[in-house]
Structure 1
């Protein structure tokens, strides 16, 4: 499962970074009196193409995260812990699980 909030998966974070770079490129004199106009100019310079580029970038990162998670899940194993309380249905489930390779059934007895 992907994290509910991750700056890598939020396109606005990349847009803010783009704005900051554009401000830094224009703010060569580093005059406080010009920072507001330079910032407004940088914000206004963001285009639909900039958004599309950053959204596609986020989609690629998200896909990489999912692929990484799928590979990690493939290497994991599962096990069942018997708490001592069982019904015939649970016993059948436990018996079928113990026949599966890679799964160890643990009893609490």
Structure 2
């Protein structure tokens, strides 16, 4: 039974198909065959930078995965569960501290990139303080509906003010 695709995978397949159809109609490649990254980026709708990043991540993951697989496979003992568990544990223990350090640095690099990209949003949203109650005695006579309306107006005003301040930085 074929593996079901997520919507994003389906979109990429459709983009690749459309690109290939354009090449077919053109009766020649739209982008030279030796420009692999540019071709894949055009086919998938991704930037070349994103393609490069994904390629590097895949190479690192494949390298680590291959090390584990080859260490287990070199001692192939069939399908005995006890032996497979033992060999897997031995494979993990045979990975050097340098291998783990390389993986740690790769993960740290990815975390830093995600923080650079998404950290700005965290800094903006951390500035919002939502007060659910006003302890002032002058507001105690107002109805809950009036309070909710005032709170919403105050909240929206705060969002607009903070957003303007962030834009003007």
Please give the TM-score of this superposition, normalised by the length of structure 2.
0.30
Identify, as 1 or 2, the structure richer in helix. Answer: 2
Please give the TM-score of this superposition, normalised by the length of structure 1.
0.41
Identify, as 1 or 2, the structure richer in strand. Answer: 1
- Larger RCO, structure (CA 8 Å, separation 6 or more): 1
